[in-house]
Amino acid sequence: MEAIWKEMLEAAKSVQNERKISNYIDAGGVAAAVLSTSGRIYTGVCIDTCSTLGICAERNAIFNMITCGEDKIAKVLCIMPDGKNGAPCGACRELMVQLMPGDYKNIQIMLDCEKGETVTLGELTPKWWIK
């Protein structure tokens, strides 16, 4: 596995910190790290609410990246509550596609750090509505 994936894994682990914020909000069950094309790592955690106001960790990390003035993603890694990795949900995929309509297919996604298994967003979303 490339060293940058290990760095992203450690960055995501450092913010995960699953916790209850209030009777209505939990945070940190899932954590994500996004590598911009400039080489900077941005992190985020999921924020789950009792209504639809929550946000996934990947989108949170992407919004942090955008807040800091960047808008191009190279790699995405997330950690589930059980410590395993997984693919972004449909809403997160949709955001990445709309953010990078000409280049989204090249974004690398870590599926399994233990095996070093990656996939591109284009492989996960081969026939997305944006061409």
Q: What is the pLDDT of residues 74-103, one digit of tens each?
A: 999 999 999 999 999 999 999 999 999 999
25 contacts 49 by C-beta, under 8 angstroms? yes
Identify the residue whose tokens are 């916790």: 19
Q: What is the pTM of this model?
A: 0.94
Query: What is the domain partition of the chain in residue ranges?
Result: 3-124
Closest CA to 124 of 83, 98, 96: 96
pLDDT in tens, 2-38: 999 999 999 999 999 999 999 999 999 999 999 999 9
> What's the pLDDT tens digit per position in 62-76?
999 999 999 999 999
Indicate the fold that domain 3-124 takes in CATH.
Answer: Cytidine Deaminase; domain 2 (3.40.140)
Whether the pLDDT of residue 58 is over 90: the answer is yes
Which residues lie closer than 8 Å to 98 by C-beta, 6 or more apart?
130
